[in-house]
Chains A and B, each alone.
Chain A
């Protein structure tokens, strides 16, 4: 080993370096980018996406993929709105019960996803894509295409109350990120996720119930989607079928750009944090320096390809479908 940074070290730090370069770049072009106000704006737009991306991180760590998040977020958002309003529409009364119930709804959606994938032996990208469509359809059916307003000041305080210039939801997101980190590195489930992603044969051979781990992974992801849904509703004050729109592209991009390999086994929630920040900084920075926002999808598309290419060990992969 020479002192020169080798491929692995470089890959490990590349996402963070990219994030710093992007921030320098946008600050150089438009100094207003580098302000607490703007950082708060970036954080607000990043918080729901971060929760969804942390959820899908667990799945990608297993070497699977989940494309159901748009449907799952919509269903969670809409069911939250219905239950919340039915229980009185205020966090002060019984309305708070809607919060844990939404998390349960997310877990159930994840369970269905995991069962379809594992028990019917359908590749996860297709099982979850189909269930995502079902989810969006279900949300459409529940709302009949209407928007549901959530105006409870206590719930909206997630956005409106600020501590140190940042809304409360940023701190909540931070707590859930820590929870994600704890699950990933300090629990058996977390270790098992890595084991399955690192090599399913070995994991199976050493007596791990791989099917169970996979299903648990999907349930865990579902809970995080539900948290993301709650934040998305708190951010705009509306729950509708379209609440989930855009989460798939953003979260998959964020996870992959953050350095979690699509093949599983490496990366984790901190990578996802960096990835989400990269995606949000690009989105925000482009608007701040006056580029049209719609270029974002194209740039993220290119970024995703580059990230997958860089993170692929070309010697170990033979067939790609």
Chain B
């Protein structure tokens, strides 16, 4: 086997190796209860990373995810008393809209996605500040349990966050692998000029990809706010870096076209294992951001398809 053939298998080999290393040093890590709670804790991040996958898959990026998630934590908390479960719908629609706006600005107004999503992120942040009155808000616990309780409960020892994450994974996997839209996404990611030349509505596909990214970021925010029983314009801060890391470490390169949501699952689990291993090996928590930043650079350098970029800007 050559290195080239081995490349697609790197992510899960990395994951197994990491689990083995941590497991040998600290056998407690491998206790099912521990693993399950680790996976449950990472679910909001996983859902955001799922959305990010679509933006990166078509060769773009979504820097607004964190702000959109922040906005939804506030939105969910405010809408809960009046709308009950309807609050979830409001959040999803808001995320969808934000993502679609990013997509529109990118494809129609020809603004590169890292700028358009940064700008839309700024707008989402302002909305969150406005709606929350710049305060941290709390959900009424009975109301929360009545409407969102199903998201954060637990049955047969499996926390419901994992069920929500798995359902979204199944849904996005189906979209990506079993629909015409999914095929079109791959075509756009693999080579946009060719996709356009073969008659695909490239713009519409890209707008949809960004809309999906926004929607999943919103669901991530919703789950997070249900979990913490509140919302604030900064609640989800710190999600952006690990979400991008999860997608890239999983093997979806910045240049798009290969990889996908299953890769992101593996990437997210790698992020989760690294995070908890830092606790086990008593690495100072202040190291975390630096470590993930360096991992991000390594992951990009290892996965990026340089044949697609004649000039690197």
Contacts and interface: CB of A to CB of B under 8 A. Distances in A.
Contacts of A132: 293
A134 B241 CA distance: 10
B301 A120 contact: yes
Contacts of A127: 297, 300
B123 interface: yes
A298 B241 CA distance: 22
Contacts of A141: 284, 286-287, 290
Given A294-B134, A296-B126, A320 B107 contact: yes
Contacts of A317: 110
Interface size class of A (residues with CB under 8 A): 35 or more
A72 B300 CA distance: 21
A140 B110 contact: no
B296 interface: yes
B309 interface: yes
B43 interface: no
Contacts of B113: 320-321
B148 interface: no
Contact of A308 (B111, B120, B126, B293): B111
Contacts, number: 160
Contacts of B294: 130, 134
A136 B123 CA distance: 24
Interface of B: 58-61, 63, 105-107, 109-116, 118-123, 125-127, 129-130, 134, 192-193, 241, 244, 254, 284, 286-294, 296-297, 300-301, 304, 306, 309, 311-313
Contact of B130 (A62, A295, A314): A295
Contact of A121 (B58, B192, B241, B312): B312
Interface of B is mostly: helix
Contacts of B297: 116, 120, 122, 127, 130-131, 134
29 contacts: A116-B297, A118-B312, A120-B300, A121-B301, A121-B312, A122-B300, A124-B312, A125-B114, A127-B297, A127-B300, A130-B297, A130-B300, A133-B289, A133-B292, A134-B289, A145-B286, A294-B129, A301-B120, A302-B123, A305-B105, A305-B116, A308-B110, A308-B112, A309-B111, A314-B110, A319-B192, A320-B106, A320-B107, A321-B192
B70 to A, nearest CB: 12
B313 A252 contact: no
A238 interface: no
B313 A124 contact: yes
A317 B111 CA distance: 10
Interface string A292-321: 101111111110110011001010011111
A320 B110 contact: yes
A135 B241 CA distance: 13
B126 A138 contact: no
Given A123-B313, A314-B110, 6 more contacts: A62-B313, A130-B294, A133-B292, A298-B125, A308-B110, A320-B113
A145 B289 CA distance: 13
Contacts of A296: 126
